[in-house]
Structure 1
Amino acid sequence: MKKLYIVLILVFAANTIKAQNKDTAAADKLYISLEYVDAAEAYKKLVDDGKGSPYVYSQLAESYYNMFNYKEAAKWYAKVIETQQEAEVYYKYAQMLKADGKYEEANKQMGTFAAKAPNDQRAIEFKKDPNYLPKLRSQQKLYDLKNLNINSDKADFGAVLTNDNHLYFASARSKGRKKYGWNEEPFLDLYSSVMSGDGVFGEPQPVGEINSKFHDGPATISADGNTMYFASESFKEKEFVKDKKNNLRQGQVYIFKATKDGEKWGNIKEVSFNNKTYSVSNPSLSKDGKTLYFSSDMPGGQGGIDIWKVAVSGDGTYGTPENLGKKINTEGNESFPSITDDNKLFFSSDGRKGFGGLDVFMIDTDKDNEAKNVGLPVNSPKDDFAFSFNTAKNIGFFSSNRDGNDNLYIATPVCSVDVITTVKDALTGKALSNASVAILDNKKNIIETKTTNMDGIVVYTVDCDKEYSVQVTNDGYEGNVFPVAKTRGGKVDIAANLQPIEKIIDKEVVVLNDIFFEFNKSNVTKEGAYELDKLIQVMVKYPNMEILVKSHTDNRGSDQYNLSLSDRRAKSTVQYILSKGVSKTRISGKGYGESEPNISCTDCTEEQHAQNRRSEFLIVKQ
């Protein structure tokens, strides 16, 4: 149903009429009237009766394409390319194959499309990176999603949440409405549902004063809640073009404006840039109310349906519509624009690199950058569209036919933080490339390790509201650990300035952070190993240096037990250093039990006990 607002209310067949004949006349009239369900049946009967032809195959493919029956569409496009060589046929065929998850075959058809239309922007982008899908699949997840509880068994799409918690959307759920031949569903109405404080949506109610006997919706609401722009039909204004040959009236999608009158919407007027020779639809109003975004097939675009914007003045008049250009639009279809309060524009496209069908894209209009596919799980091999986002409530909505019907979904942002670590020499300020940077969770578990680039930088993307730390090492430098505080998104800059390794030598001692041991244990912990690696670096730099490891315990346990435990800890420490290639003639260890406490105490705290469980490193020979 959503394709109603991508194409015209009534359109002529996409193929030339030359191939029509008396056998196809009835089916052609159904197709021209957008009654694709019945048209497909009529064309299929012609095939069954032995009257199939390249024209009939093409009409079948187009009928199923417009219904997004991707399996049947792909089946008939395969027949079409046996005789037709138009580039766009290969593009549509590839789209349907992608929707069916047949990416390898889709790429083959895209290759043919690119060869036939080398200057098409879609072909150019495809040739730049034909195997883009693995990267798209591995893209960082931006949203969690769930099915909205107010969906019906008919088309529901185009949801926008107002600041007063009203969710407006278009739906074909009305059982009292006549059916639309496109997909045999009732005509669209505009509905609203109230969101409660716990995020539950109430029973949707039709917006009676907006709805008519024609298609109505979707809509956009001003920030103050007093102005609505919504899509409907030109027939509402008795505006259409007559097709005398087929005895049809060709209508368009129009945009209308309504204002709040108490609890009702009234004063409904069409906008001045409506035109009975092209459609304008899917309105979205900026926060300040001065810019209206919409989709249209009006002249002057990039091809297909494009996204446009128009200035809205204080007196209610409109400027000249402006095409958003190649940064947004392609030779394919771009539709369902939605502008957020912080000027991020979401839109759907079938002309950009995606998973199949329509995909949702986003671009920050305040920055000169490229539109970005929002990735999984919002996008899928099917049609994903009409993404809107309420920044004040930090919640989004989109529509998809991934389950066979146009349904509404909630999109909740996955909160993330970019931890940008820059490693430098603390004395010279020189950036240190190839330094090892590990990101650790709040339990000191290493999540991942990377090496710095030429500028000494590593970037990690982590969850919001969690404490982390980065552990940094580099040959010739004292490693260090830098805390990363909790934050609610955005980025955190960590200045990881490392001291040259000589800094830990203090006369006759190599000064390390304490090598703590767990209670009653002698194994080297991961924190201890990190510190011992500094000692190893010093011993590598000074090949004649010899070290005595003195190991100590806390005062729990007998003197003899503690002496034995400390000796095991000393030997464990020595064994770790030997495992790194240091000669055993250069390292020795001895346990001192509880005889030399770091902190003298009788009723020691756990922290004091931990301070006494330590190792010291004496330089026996420089």
Structure 2
Amino acid sequence: MSLRKYITKIKGLVVITFLFIGAQVLGQGKKLSDAQSAYSKYNYMEAADIYESVANKGYRSVELFQKLGNSYYLNGRYEDAAKWYGELYALSKDQPNIYNLRYAQSLKSVGLEGLGEEYYDRYLSNLDKTEEGYLSVGDYLDLIEQNSGRYDLKKEPFNSEGIDFGSAYLGTDKMVFASSRDKGVLIRRRSKWDGQPFLNLYEVGIGDDSLSEKSPRLFKSGIEGKYHESTPVFTKDGQTMYFTRTEPKGLDKGSPLYLKIYRAHLVDGKWTGEEDLTINGDTYNTAHPMLNVGEDRLYFVSDRKGGEGQTDLYYAPIGGDGSLGEMVNLGKKINTPGRESFPFISADNNLYF
């Protein structure tokens, strides 16, 4: 082979190689763009699938590992979250402080308490010195130990493989709760956040000592929406219900969903007149209603601006005509820079959260 032909062949191979690499880069860029689009719309499982496929081909970046870890963390898949947060810290130790907390929680959830404590203490050491409400790992564990053993836990037989939570009593013979369980229909709509079916309300009968029925049935409220319904609470007379519902911010497909609290009334055996309450907004979440014993205060959770932390507990007074008064933040004695959620008020008017 002449030198000219050899050089021409080498040039051809170089061009082919660059074209191949360029195609890979373009394809990878398209995938990352698709993942970012899904992530920005809270479609975390779709985003995670794409990000992970890119990561498994050797692509590494801080943003990739942050969002991949977040996608799993925000769905309670802590083993996967710990894996990708680990990759994040292997790439760069200098991360926003929230990642120290999320990595610590993920590590603790998979049994790596020692390493989790290290990152939790790192999180505490980086907090603004004016922030209060956080305990060291040792103090936190001591507090848990002091408050343990006061209750016996019993797993009820009707729990599903999906999500079951947010129970409330309706009268003396029913419990209503939220579940993502199989409704027995052919087409099941799913949330893009976690890939689970949308939550619906279910009811189950109550026996003297336990919940007597093993097969809960759909709570036929007549107010089922297209998305999630959860965390109901009922007045003592069983005539008024408050509950959480997700609503899209806009009409466009893929618009983010926000949590809102609705109220409905039982009229002639049917729940009607569902009302979007005045405490709701279109740019923040308002959720998980709870009534005090006197039923003149509605407690709830919100991430609206002006709070003490990421989510805070509030209450709004309920007037005699059902109108809601000015909201009150429960303040720094209750709310921390972190997250407070799921308020519950016992029969003796104690607040649990």
TM-score (norm 1): 0.49
Shift of 1:140: 4.3
CA shift at 1:154, angstroms?
A: 1.5
* Partner amino acid, structure 2, of 1:125: Y
Matched, 1:333 2:344: no
Find out whether 1:147 has 2:155 as its counterpart: yes
Q: How does 1:360-399 map to 2 (within 5 A)?
A: none
Residue 134 of structure 2 is matched in structure 1 by: 125
Residues 1:186 and 1:23: Cα distance change in structure 2 (over 3 Å): closer
C-alpha separation between the residues in 2 aligned to 1:50 and 1:200?
51
Q: Give ranges in structure 2 of 5+ residues lacking alignment.
A: 1-27
Q: Partner residue of 1:263?
A: 269
Distance in 1 (CA, whole Å) between partners of 2:251 and 2:124 is: 38
- Residue matched to 1:192: 203
Residue type of the alignment partner of 1:76 = W
Letter of the structure 2 residue corresponding to residue 262 of structure 1: D
Cα offset for 1:136?
A: 2.6
Q: Secondary structure of 2:242's partner?
A: strand
- Output the amino acid matched with 1:197: D
2:114 partner amino acid: E
Residues 536-575 of structure 1: pairs in structure 2 closer than 5 A: none
Counterpart of 2:247 in structure 1 is 234
Q: How many Å apart are 1:305 and its aligned residue?
A: 1.2
Q: Confirm whether residue 61 of structure 1 aligns to residue 74 of structure 2.
A: no
Contact 1:300 1:323 in 2 (8 A): no
What are the equivalent positions in structure 2 for 1:405-416 lying under 5 Å apart? none
**Where does residue 227 of structure 2 map in the other structure?**
214
Distance 1:214 1:248 in 2: 13
Q: Distance in 1 between matches of 2:260 and 2:156?
A: 28
Query: Which runs of structure 2 are paired with 1:196-595 in the superposition (5 Å)?
Result: 196-202=207-213, 203-208=215-220, 209-235=222-248, 240-241=249-250, 248-347=254-353
Specify the code of the residue in structure 2 equivalent to 1:53: S
CA distance in 1, matches of 2:138, 2:156: 35
Q: CA deviation at 1:216?
A: 1.0
Q: CA deviation at 1:135?
A: 5.5
SS of 1:143's equivalent in the other structure is coil
Cα RMSD (Å): 2.2
Structure 2 Cα separation of the partners of residues 112 and 197 of structure 1: 49
Inter-CA distance 345–194: structure 2 relative to 1 (3 Å threshold): same
Per-residue deviation, 1:294: 0.6
User: What number of residue pairs does the alignment pair up?
Assistant: 319
C-alpha distance in structure 2 between counterparts of 1:47 and 1:71, whole Å: 17
- Say whether residues 1:180 and 2:170 are aligned partners: no
Report whether the alignment pairs 1:103 with 2:103.
no
Q: CA deviation at 1:308?
A: 0.9
Q: How much has 1:259 moved relative to structure 2?
A: 0.8
Distance in 2 between residues matched to 1:32 and 1:43, nearest whole Å: 13
**Are the aligned partners of 2:170 and 2:234 in contact in 1 as well (CA < 8 Å)?**
yes
Partner of 1:93: 103
Change (3 A) 1:257 1:135: closer
Structure 1 unaligned residues grouped into runs of 5+: 1-19, 348-622
Deviation at 1:121, TM superposition (A): 3.9
2:41 aligned to 28, 33, 39, which one? Answer: 33
Contact 2:317 / 2:326 at 8 angstroms: preserved in 1?
yes
- C-alpha change, 1:138 and 1:117, in structure 2 (3 Å) is closer
CA drift at 1:98 = 1.6
CA distance in 1, matches of 2:180, 2:274: 22
Q: Which residue of 1 aligns with 2:32?
A: 24
- Please tell me whether the aligned partners of residues 303 and 331 of structure 1 are also in contact (alpha carbons under 8 angstroms): yes
1:314-373: per-residue Cα shift (whole Å, max 9, x none)? 1111111111112221111111111123111111xxxxxxxxxxxxxxxxxxxxxxxxxx
Tell me if structure 2 keeps the 8 A contact 1:234–1:253: yes
Higher percent of residues as strand: 1
CA contact (8 A) 1:71 1:96 kept: yes
Please state whether the residue corresponding to 2:290 is helix, strand or coil.
strand
Residues 196 and 130 of structure 1: is their aligned pair in 2 closer, same or farther, counting only changes over 3 Å?
A: closer
Q: Contact 1:64–1:73 (CA<8 Å) still a contact in 2?
A: yes
Residue 210 (structure 1) shift: 2.5
The 1:328/1:191 distance shift into structure 2, 3 A limit, reads same
Offset of residue 291 of structure 1: 0.3
Alpha carbons of 1:139 and 1:229: their partners in 2 closer, same or farther (altered >3 Å)? closer
Structure 1 position 180, deviation (Å): 1.5
Aligned to 2:175: 167
What's the counterpart of residue 515 of structure 1?
Answer: none
CA contact under 8 A between 1:172 and 1:189: conserved in structure 2? yes
Kindly provide the amino acid, as one letter, of the partner of residue 351 in structure 2.
L
Q: 1:112 to 1:338 in 2, by over 3 A?
A: same
> C-alpha separation between the residues in 1 aligned to 2:251 and 2:125?
39
The question of whether the paired residues in 2 share the 8 Å contact of 1:228 and 1:258 is answered with yes
Percent of aligned positions that are identical: 32
Q: 1:294 to 1:134 in 2, by over 3 A?
A: closer
Q: 1:201 Cα deviation (Å)?
A: 2.8
User: Is contact 1:170-1:216 (8 Å) kept?
Assistant: yes
The residue number in structure 2 matching 1:546 is none
CA distance in 1, matches of 2:278, 2:140: 42
Q: CA–CA distance in 2 between the matches of 1:59 and 1:132?
A: 29
